[in-house]
Amino acid sequence: MAIRLSDLNPPQRQAVITTEGPLLVLAGAGSGKTRVITYRIAHLLEKGARPESILAVSFTNKAADEMRERVDRLCTGGQARGVMLSTFHALGLVILKSEQAALGMATGFSVYDTSDQLGVIREILRHAHMEGRKLETKSILSRISRAKNAGLSPQDFVSQVRKARFVSEYDGFTAEVYPRYVERMRALHALDFDDLLVETLRVLRENEQVAGRWQSRFRYLMIDEYQDTNHCQLELLRLLCKKHGNLAVVGDDDQSIYAWRGADSRNILQFEKQFPGASVIKLEENYRSTGGILAAANAVIEKNTARHGKTLWTQRGAGDPIQLVIAPGEDEEAQFVAEEIDSLVMAGKCDLRDIAVLYRTTRQCEPIETALRSARIEYHVIGGQAFFDRKEVKDAMAYLKLITYPHDELALRRVINYPPRGIGPQAMDGLSALHKESRRKRPDTSLWEVVRDLVSHKTGSLDLFASEESAPEHEGLSSRIMISLQRFVRAIEKYQKLYAQLGGGRLKEVAEELLREVGVQDDLVRAGPTMAQSERRLRNLSEFLASMQRYAEKAGPDFDMLSYLNRLTLSSQDEDADDSLRDAVTLSTLHGAKGLEWKVVFFVGLEEEILPHKRSLAPRQADHTIASRRLSEGEGDDPEGDPHSSDLSEERRLCYVGITRARQKLYISRAEMRGGWPKNPSRFLDDIPPNLLIVRDLEGPPPKQDPHDEEAFVKALIAQSLSVSE
Instruction: Examine residue 419 and say whether the peptide bond preceding it is cis (omega within 30 degrees of 0).
Output: yes
Note the maximum CA span of the chain.
Answer: 95
The DSSP code sequence of 654-708 is HHHHHHTTEEEEEEEEEEEEETTEE-PBPHHHHHS-GGGEEEEETTSPPPP--TT
CA distance 190 to 193: 10
Q: Are 116 and 571 in contact (CB under 8 A)?
A: no
- Burial state string for 570-605 with b = 16 or more CB within 10 A and e = fewer than 16: bbbbebbeeeeeeebbbbbbbbbbbbeebbbbbbbb
- Active site residues per annotation: 33-34, 224-225, 255, 661
Strands in 429-577 per DSSP E: none
Q: What is the number of residues in the chain?
A: 726
Let me know the angle formed at the C-alpha of 211 by 206 and 214, rounded to the nearest 5 degrees: 155
3-class secondary structure, 381: strand
Tell how far CA 260 is from the center of its chain.
13
Q: Are 259 and 616 in contact (CB under 8 A)?
A: no
Q: Are 460 and 433 in contact (CB under 8 A)?
A: no
Q: Nearest CA to 495 among 394, 388, 411, 401?
A: 401
Exposed (0-12), middle (13-18) or buried (19+): which is 528, by Cβ within 10 Å? middle
Q: Are 445 and 439 in contact (CB under 8 A)?
A: yes
CA distance 666 to 692: 11
CA distance 252 to 288: 15
Helix (H) or strand (E) holding 223: strand 220-223
- What DSSP designation does 582 have? S
CA distance 241 to 493: 45
Q: Nearest CA to 397 among 548, 240, 607, 264?
A: 548
Q: Are 89 and 63 in contact (CB under 8 A)?
A: no
CA distance 249 to 227: 9
Q: Are 484 and 478 in contact (CB under 8 A)?
A: no
Q: Nearest CA to 272 among 595, 635, 653?
A: 635
CA distance 167 to 160: 9
- What DSSP designation does 229 have? -
Q: Nearest CA to 26 among 399, 233, 231, 308?
A: 308
The letter for the amino acid at 696 is: R
CA distance 175 to 317: 56
